[in-house]
Structure 1
């Protein structure tokens, strides 16, 4: 069983997230420090600087030669199942709207598959199962950063090029008149394949998050193969930026919340859907992936519980930058993180008696 002291460590790790969130919310709602344009600029700062440094910093500290590839493969199977399920569900639900089908496929995948592995996952799974579980969740976090987040960015760019018509993504996801991508998509014909591929390739080539993932893996392979360390001056320079990643992401979410009429910006129906995808569909997909790879015992329990961790903060940051269902993702992060502890404890208790 988990001791009360271990539970406190989890709460201790989660509470600062809401401090940053509250500051961002108050900065717009009560104190009027920032305009809507300035809030957008802050989110772009997070996307282009805070998140890439944060990603690079923890990737380079993970040994790529000591990974449990069976568990990682099970997680990959679960995420692929989520991709297929999200695409099928979106096609059925939005059969008459190509833009809607593409958009909800991306959002559905984010909700079901992309979780908060580091801030919540590391202390919680260490408390539940010990050091081996902490090591595994960090490995899953690395793969999520170098594979699944870049694929999510690719999906965002493909959607813009194919459906929205190649609207620039790293400046603003919304026109000055407030027209969203989905609204604009109804008026624009999709691009042909070759121009689309060129447009997407160029945008990804200058995306700093892609650079962070690739360079992080490359340096980790070199460093752990030949036992080479970075000079302290380089490490310090990286960490002074990487430490802003989580805090500034939550601050940006608070700014977004402060601009909405309601804290539950997407409405009760979509909020409930997001919770169902995060805490039910995700663990079911993880169970299927773990069964396919033959995971048993505590490793199987670990695979299910890590899939029920709250929503990844980065999924909101990119949804906001690309103008796609940021209200749904912000609600999923905020309320998913709030209710995650009792939900995860319930999963833990049920799995222990099975």
Structure 2
């Protein structure tokens, strides 16, 4: 027993060391500025973590994939989501914002960075292979499902603001290539054409002042300063122009905003402590109570599919996952080994992945204005959702699909891992309870070790 706990502490305490080192570097020693922290996060998001994913996938045999584990994971999401949607539909206190928040809090784990070292120290390499499968599923499916829910909310807000009385008349929407997200309605403008039947044809585009700024330039210190100053100047003006016939066949409207919404999952939102991008004062509950017309379902679906796809193809983890899975399918089918040069090139970067990612998490914690940014009662509820409700539902769904032994234990414990920082990135960009996600990430990162040890000891009592 003592040796088992020693192995667990030996695997997890170094993760805490990296977090603490980053925290002290910013809060006490003032080694890094926010711009430098943004650069570190950029490297982690674009290189370290994708290469880590690629390295893990190329060494994992896809032909031994445990589909029962994947089924249990999917069933957990559905079991939690279904009652939340019923509550949202039937209760006057129901809100789609809280549906998104609770499903993310209870189901999205920091599996890749924290889970792999932890479960491998508990149950060996077999458990780590299972977690790699869950990492792929989360990266390619669940992150994008969550993103789609956020984009659905943003689409409803956009349509409610731009077309409060004519939403049902919209028959088509074309989205400019510069539009990567609907998360900031103030930076978007709409060109509207009315055909002979009174139907609306909408073109959605970014303002010219923001669309000319490249995404990459946002990550250098100088470019960040220039971007903020230029958009601050631009934010003092707004436009609303009409063209065409006196009946207003063609109308163009727009206003300027704070910054361009980036399309990657790991962005400078992690290090900036400014206000969230959406400042609409509108939530899904208000939309349900106040809007009289709904747009056609196909219009909303098109908006969501296009924006989610654009984020997906700009995320380096997508390419790492696809390339890794493709290679492993070929390599394990025909017994081909990765060339030594390629293997070494991937490994030398992937080895920085866990350490730098945990260091980045420490930077995130240090740059928050408050460690606890919501009520204590809310913190306790969020911790309970993350560390108790999520694992309990996962244990039930795992048992339902027939999991047992180490596979059952691994599936349950991975559900008690800290909340993924991706949830905060999304929450901040779409302004859906970012303070709750920030606080939950910090507290669950601090508490997950004793929580998972309790689960581990309880499972030792099982046959």
Same-fold call, TM > 0.5? yes
1:151 is matched with: 145
Range with greater deviation from structure 2 (322-331 or 239-248)? 322-331
> Which of 413, 428, 448 is equivalent to 1:305?
413
Residue 133 of structure 1: CA displacement? 3.5
Check whether the contact 1:173–1:323 (CA below 8 A) recurs between aligned residues.
no
Would you say the 8 A contact 2:8–2:122 is kept in 1?
A: no
Distance 1:219 1:350 in 2: 39
Q: Whole-Å Cα distance in 1 between the matches of residues 144 and 443 of structure 2?
A: 25
Maintained 8 Å contact 2:61/2:328: yes
Per the TM alignment, residue 37 of structure 1 is displaced from its structure 2 partner at its CA by 4.1
Structure 2 equivalent of residue 64 of structure 1 = 62
Equivalent in 105, 111, 115 of residue 111 of structure 1: 105
Residues 19-30 of structure 1: pairs in structure 2 closer than 5 A: 19-30=17-28
- Equivalents in 1 of 2:401, 2:410: separation in Å? 14
Match of 1:212 among 304, 307, 320: 320
Moved more, 43-52 or 10-19: 43-52
Q: Kindly provide the CA deviation profile for residues 274-297 of structure 1, in whole angstroms up to 9, marking residues without a partner as x.
A: 211121111221123123213345
- Per-residue deviation at 1:110? 2.9
**Which residue pairs with 2:331 in the alignment?**
223
Task: Name 2:279's counterpart in structure 1.
Answer: 183
8 Å contact 1:50–1:244 — kept in the other structure?
yes
Q: Residue 2 of structure 2 corresponds to which residue in structure 1? A: 4
Correspondence for 1:51 among 49, 52, 63: 49
Structure 2 partner of 1:169: 262
Q: Which residue of 1 aligns with 2:444?
A: 336
Q: TM-score, normalised by structure 1?
A: 0.80
Task: Tell me what 1:141 maps to.
Answer: 135
Structure number with larger C-alpha Rg: 2
Structure 2 equivalent of residue 285 of structure 1: 393
Distance 1:131 1:34, change over 3 A: closer
CA contact (8 A) 2:7 2:122 kept: no
- 8 Å CA contact retained: 1:320, 1:326: yes
Q: Tell me how far 1:65 sits from its aligned partner.
A: 0.3
Counterpart Cα distance in 1 of 2:150 and 2:348: 29
Report deviation, 1:75: 1.9
Gapped regions of structure 2 (runs ≥ 5)? 159-181, 185-260, 288-293
The 8 Å contact of residues 56 and 213 in structure 1, kept in 2 or not, is answered as yes
Q: Kindly state the Cα deviation for residue 224 of structure 1 after the two structures are TM-superposed.
A: 1.2
- Rounded to whole Å, the distance in 1 between the matches of 2:422 and 2:39 is 16
- Return the match for 1:238 from 346, 368, 374: 346
Shift in alpha-carbon separation, 1:53–1:82, aligned structure 2, 3 A: farther
The structure 2 residue matched to 1:345, chosen from 453, 458, 462, is: 453
What do you get for the CA RMSD once the two structures are aligned?
3.6
CA–CA separation in structure 2 for the residues paired with 1:308 and 1:292: 19
- SS of corresponding position for 2:338: coil
Is 1:268 matched with 2:376? yes
Partner of 2:306: 198
Aligned mates of 2:19, 2:382 — CA distance in 1: 20
**In structure 1, distance between residues paired with 2:277 and 2:20:** 28
Q: Secondary structure at the match of 2:279?
A: helix
Any idea what SS the aligned residue of 2:43 has? helix
| Aligned counterparts of 1:162 and 1:295: Cα–Cα separation in 2 | 40
Cα distance, 1:310 vs structure 2: 3.3
Q: Give, in whole Å, the separation in 2 of the partners of 1:270 and 1:35.
A: 31
TM superposition shift of 1:325: 4.9
TM-score of the superposed pair, with normalisation by structure 2:
0.63
Q: Judging changes above 3 Å, is the alpha-carbon distance between structure 1 residues 27 and 157 closer, same or farther for their aligned structure 2 residues?
A: farther
The SS at the match of 2:371 is: coil
Q: Number of aligned pairs?
A: 347
Structure 2 Cα separation of the partners of residues 317 and 353 of structure 1:
39
1:313-332 map, 5 Å: 315-316=423-424, 325=433, 327-332=435-440
1:35/1:234 CA distance change after superposition, 3 Å: same
Does the 8 Å CA contact 2:26/2:32 hold for their aligned counterparts? yes
> What displacement does 1:24 show?
2.2
Cross-structure match for 1:82: 80
1:17 is the counterpart of 2:11: no
* Cα distance in 2, alignment partners of residues 38 and 55 from structure 1: 24
**Where does residue 217 of structure 2 map in the other structure?**
none
Q: Which runs of 5+ in 1 are unaligned?
A: none
Specify which structure has the higher proportion of helix: 1
Q: Which moved more, 1:112-121 or 1:153-162?
A: 153-162
Q: Distance in 1 between matches of 2:126 and 2:183?
A: 45
